[in-house]
Amino acid sequence: MSEENNNAAAPAEAANGPAFTVEKVYVKDVSFEAPNSPGIFNENVQPDLQLNLNQKVQRLSDNAFEVVLGVTLTCKAGDKTAYVAEVEQAGVFGLIGLEPQAIDVLLGTQCPNILFPYVRSMVSDLIQAGGFPPFYLQPINFEGLYAETLRQRQQQTDGTSLAESEPAGNA
Q: Nearest 10 degrees: CA dihedral of 153, 159, 165, 171?
A: -150
Distance from the Cα of residue 19 to its chain's centroid: 20
Distance CA 72, CA 78 (A): 19
pLDDT above 70 coverage of the chain, percent:
84
pLDDT above 90 coverage of the chain, percent:
70
Average pLDDT in the 51-70 region?
A: 96
* Residue 16: pLDDT band with limits 50, 70, 90: confident
Look over the chain and give the mean of its residue pLDDT values, rounded to a whole number: 86
* Residue 160: pLDDT band with limits 50, 70, 90: low
Domains of the chain, each with CATH number or no CATH: 26-58+69-90+99-156 (3.10.420.10)
The pLDDT, as a whole number, for residue 22 is 97
- One DSSP character per residue, 39-68 reads GGGG--S-EEEEEEEEEEEEEEETTEEEEE
CB neighbour burial string for 130-141, b if at least 16 within 10 angstroms, e if fewer:
bebeebebeebe
Checking if the pLDDT of 166 tops 70, the result is no
Helices and strands in the chain: count of H runs, count of E runs = 4, 4
Distance from the Cα of residue 135 to its chain's centroid: 19
The pLDDT, as a whole number, for residue 11 is 43
Checking if the pLDDT of 14 tops 90, the result is no
pLDDT digits (tens, 9 = 90+) for 93-152: 999 999 999 999 999 999 999 999 999 999 999 999 999 988 889 999 999 999 998 898
More confident residue, 57 or 43: 57
Average pLDDT in the 74-89 region?
A: 96
CB neighbour burial string for 56-83, b if at least 16 within 10 angstroms, e if fewer:
eeeeeeebbbbbbbbbbbbbbbeeeebb
- The CB-side HSE value for 26 (13 A sphere, CA atoms) comes to 7
